[in-house]
């Protein structure tokens, strides 16, 4: 298996203008990871480059053992493992940001830990202790500080939770054992094209996921959204699908949805049908701080058609991405001038200033990580 080394990717991003490459080439023994050093001045595609260290913990008879750091390599998992057959796979996504002062800071990772534990409950997996997940996240960031890129890049952290009980006859029973692997990857923008405005197809017939499972950050939810998203991309050139079953807006396949104008921010009120975004909550808090009126309520497709303002997607990966066009089958509505709106830009800048240590963290959202 050949993968690009994180050190090479970040070094190229940092000083690629000098043609500098860092790292070494390792021998291709059986089972080894081979690193390559391509000459590039840009951060790699989101999530494609593994950071060199991961942290792994697992249960024995349902009891969680300690988290241990190790080089990134293949995970050993039994082919009868519950997750491979019955979908007991969940994950999280968060970022550590390198500030203007060089300090790397985690952003609201306590909320991601809460959400991972909620996913574990919905998947009926052994509940990982919050302090175990916290320690694993801190350790993986500390171990990968050298490959954490400067802004606008970040170190994306991916806790992965898998049901591992080896039983292919357990379709109607939970997995008694689980594995937690906390991975990391140096990243740039999630959406290709950087700061361009996105196009969303409005889907009113199919939901993103089953309503009772919307709160779970589970792999199956993303698989369910994949077919509508690929169809929308092929037929309409859309970047994402905004799911609005029965005419009520929920979210896209990978982000929460907001409407914005000069005075207010509007988004669906929290319920069990969609993921409770950490970035969504931060954006709403900052909007209130900046004097915007925040409305958490039902948003309808009819309201989208007549909205005289901006729209945006919020998420750890997306941050706050502007939406320029809404596609309703054969009809298209352009929001504003079709670009990223000023309120979206203002809120995104305010959020990133806190994440990068450029503005006061009055809400206590960031925590520095030292090696």
Q: 249, 261, 252, 199: which is closest to 221 by C-alpha?
A: 252
CB within 8 A of 172, min separation 6: which ones?
Answer: none
Distances 156 to 87, 114, 182, 183, 198 between C-alpha atoms, Å: 24, 18, 11, 8, 22
CA gap 184, 187 in Å, rounded: 9
CB within 8 A of 165, min separation 6: which ones?
Answer: 81, 82, 175, 176, 177
CA gap 198, 340 in Å, rounded: 9
- Flag whether the pTM goes above 0.85: yes
Q: Which pLDDT value is given to residue 25?
A: 31
CA gap 46, 362 in Å, rounded: 30
Decide which of 3.30.2320.50, 3.30.470.10, 3.40.50.300, 3.40.50.880 is the CATH code for 45-187: 3.30.470.10
Nearest-Å Rg of the Cα atoms of the chain is 21
Q: 90, 216, 69: which is closest to 135 by C-alpha?
A: 69
Looking at the domain 198-355, which fold is it? D-amino Acid Aminotransferase; Chain A, domain 2 (3.20.10)
Provide the token pair at 232.
């929308």
CA gap 247, 186 in Å, rounded: 38
- Blockwise average pLDDT, block size 10, the chain, 371 residues: 52 43 34 33 78 97 96 96 98 97 97 98 98 98 97 96 98 97 91 79 93 90 94 96 96 96 98 96 98 98 97 94 96 96 98 96 97 79
Q: Where are the domains of the chain?
A: 45-187, 198-355
Neighbours of 344 (CB within 10 A): 26
Report phi then psi at 76, rounded to 5: -90, 120
Q: Which pLDDT value is given to residue 16?
A: 41
């Amino acid at each position: 298996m050949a993968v690009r080394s994180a050190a090479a990717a970040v070094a190229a991003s940092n000083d690629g203008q000098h043609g500098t490459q860092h790292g070494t080439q390792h021998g291709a023994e059986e089972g080894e990871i081979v690193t390559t050093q391509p000459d590039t001045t840009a951060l790699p595609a989101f999530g494609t480059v593994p950071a060199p260290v991961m942290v792994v913990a697992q249960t024995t008879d349902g009891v969680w053992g300690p988290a241990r750091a190790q080089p990134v390599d293949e995970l050993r998992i039994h082919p009868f493992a519950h997750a491979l057959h019955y979908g007991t796979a969940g994950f999280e996504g968060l970022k550590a940001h390198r500030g203007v002062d060089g300090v790397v800071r985690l952003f609201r990772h306590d909320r991601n830990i809460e959400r991972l534990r909620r996913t574990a409950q919905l998947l009926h997996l052994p509940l990982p202790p919050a302090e175990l997940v916290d320690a694993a996240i801190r350790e993986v960031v500390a171990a990968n500080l050298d490959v954490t890129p400067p802004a606008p890049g970040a170190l994306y952290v991916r806790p992965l939770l898998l049901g591992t009980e080896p039983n292919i006859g357990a379709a109607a029973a939970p997995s008694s054992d689980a594995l937690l692997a906390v991975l990391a990857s140096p990243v740039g923008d999630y959406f290709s094209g950087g700061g361009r405005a996105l196009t969303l197809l409005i889907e009113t017939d199919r939901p993103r996921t089953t309503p009772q499972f919307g709160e779970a950050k589970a792999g199956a939810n993303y698989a369910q959204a994949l077919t509508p998203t690929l169809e929308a991309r092929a037929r309409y050139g859309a970047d994402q699908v905004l799911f609005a079953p029965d005419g009520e807006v929920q979210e896209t396949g990978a982000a929460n949805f907001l409407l914005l104008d000069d005075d207010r921010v509007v988004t669906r009120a929290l319920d069990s049908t969609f993921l409770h975004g950490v970035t969504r909550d931060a954006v709403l808090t900052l909007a209130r701080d900046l004097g915007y009126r925040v409305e958490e309520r039902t948003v309808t497709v009819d309201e989208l058609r007549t909205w005289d303002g901006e729209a945006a997607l919020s998420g750890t990966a997306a941050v706050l991405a502007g939406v320029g066009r809404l596609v309703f089958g054969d009809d298209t509505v352009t929001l504003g001038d079709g670009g990223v709106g000023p309120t979206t830009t203002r809120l995104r800048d305010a959020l990133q200033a806190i994440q990068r240590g450029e503005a006061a963290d009055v809400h206590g959202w960031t925590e520095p990580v030292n090696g």
